[in-house]
Amino acid sequence: MTASSPLTKAPPLTENMAGDIRRVGVEIEFSGLDPAGAAQLVAEIFGGRVEGRKSAFVFDVEETRWGKFTVELDTQYVHPEKDLGDLIEETDLPLNQNAVNLGRELDTVFRGVVGKVSSIAVPTEIVSPPIPWNELDQLTPLVKALREKGAEGTDDNFIYAFGVHLNPEVAAEDVDYILRHLRAYALLSDWLRARIKVDTTRRLLPHVDPFPREYVRMILAADYSPDLDALITDFARLNPTRNRELDMFPLFKFLAPEIVVRYADDILIKERPTFHYRLPNTHLSDPGWDIVEEWNRWFVVEKLAADEKALERLSDRYLAKPSNFIGQWIRDIGDWIETL
């Protein structure tokens, strides 16, 4: 048996294939509080100890009840995979260790300057360990504490294209399960965007672009029945980027890295058995907002994916509608949601 808080909606499939409670990774972007302060806040709320890394802008909070949180300034320029010293060592130039050490020192100074300047518009990000879906309400004290400490979210400045990402663990790994969720998400995209009121700056930037209409119409067709290779190939061909509101590359890389590498060699793609849902804003300016609200919106995707009759009916309805039918379409989706 699984239990949720009164506010957290239970997905149709509550357990993973091993019979354990499905977990959800959460990423929260914000400004106004640096990584060191945010890491200390995480430790105060969830226990554990703060550990710094090589970069002054990345901290781990070890040994919390769920595992390790990572808190960082979210820019690869501040904490890259390799520093200047590493790159010098990899060259064939006849340089001694002093030159390598000087490179590292210059790199550290440069990264520090970039980090301080970037912190104006580049968010601090808290990345949680996987958390059981029925314990997501326990992140609410963290959201409240961030708000009280002066952290700023998407609504606080027009340049803040900040978001919350959810990484729900999949309950199955077969193509039918994955395709049903892709179809459900495509059908619900307009409704989700309307309910979330996706920030204008976030919509202008490419990070949460919707699926192309060509791709949506292809996957909703009743005769679309791909194997895994074809599903990934079609996705990569029409979505050759991580910047989608539902990024499937982490899951596809987990399931079939040899297929993904044919189409995407982005080092930022991290393989994991999850959907990577990127659409929600960080609404720290709203005292009633928390992570549970965003989970409950994702829940609707899983609920539709599990309802084969509704999925078929709404797919047919979508394919038959004219391109300027969004307002009525959102109402149609709302009518279905009222039956839940």
- What is the per-residue pLDDT across 72-91, written as a single tens digit (0 to 9) for each? 987 543 444 444 444 444 44
Question: In DSSP terms, which residues pair with 168 in a beta bridge?
Answer: 24
Segment among 21-30, 120-129, 187-196, 230-239 with least mean pLDDT: 120-129
pLDDT for res 106: 55
122: confidence class by pLDDT, cuts 50, 70, 90: confident
The tokens for 56 are 């002054």
The alpha carbon of residue 51 and the mean position of all alpha carbons in its chain are separated, in whole angstroms, by 24
- Taking only the tens place, the pLDDT of each residue in 214-225 is 999 999 999 999
Q: Give CA separation, 41 vs 72, 151, 213, 327, in Å.
A: 13, 11, 43, 42
* CB burial of residue 305 (10 Å; 0-12, 13-18, 19+): buried
Q: What is the pLDDT of residue 278?
A: 96
**Residue range 234-282, pLDDT digits in tens:** 999 999 988 999 999 999 999 999 989 888 766 568 899 999 999 999 9
The pLDDT assigned to 159 comes to 84
Q: If DSSP codes are grouped into helix, strand and coil, which group holds residue 212?
A: coil
Read off the pLDDT band of 144 (50, 70, 90). very high
Comparing 213 with 268, the larger pLDDT belongs to: 213
* Contact criterion met (CB below 8 Å) for 76 and 57: no
What is the pLDDT, as a whole number, of residue 325?
Answer: 73
* Burial of 125: CB neighbours in 10 Å, binned 0-12, 13-18, 19+: buried
**Residue range 179-203: average pLDDT?**
94
Contact yes or no for 226/179 (Cβ under 8 A): yes
> What does the pLDDT look like over 11-51, one tens digit per residue?
999 999 999 999 999 999 999 999 999 999 999 999 999 99
Per-residue tokens: 34? 């640096």
**What residues contact 64, with CB distance under 8 A and at least 6 apart?**
42, 43, 46, 47, 48, 129
Nearest to 286 by CA among 122, 143, 138: 143
Q: Is the pLDDT of residue 116 over 70?
A: no
Sign of torsion over alpha carbons 312, 316, 321, 323: positive
Average pLDDT (55-67) is 92
The overall average pLDDT reported for the chain is 86
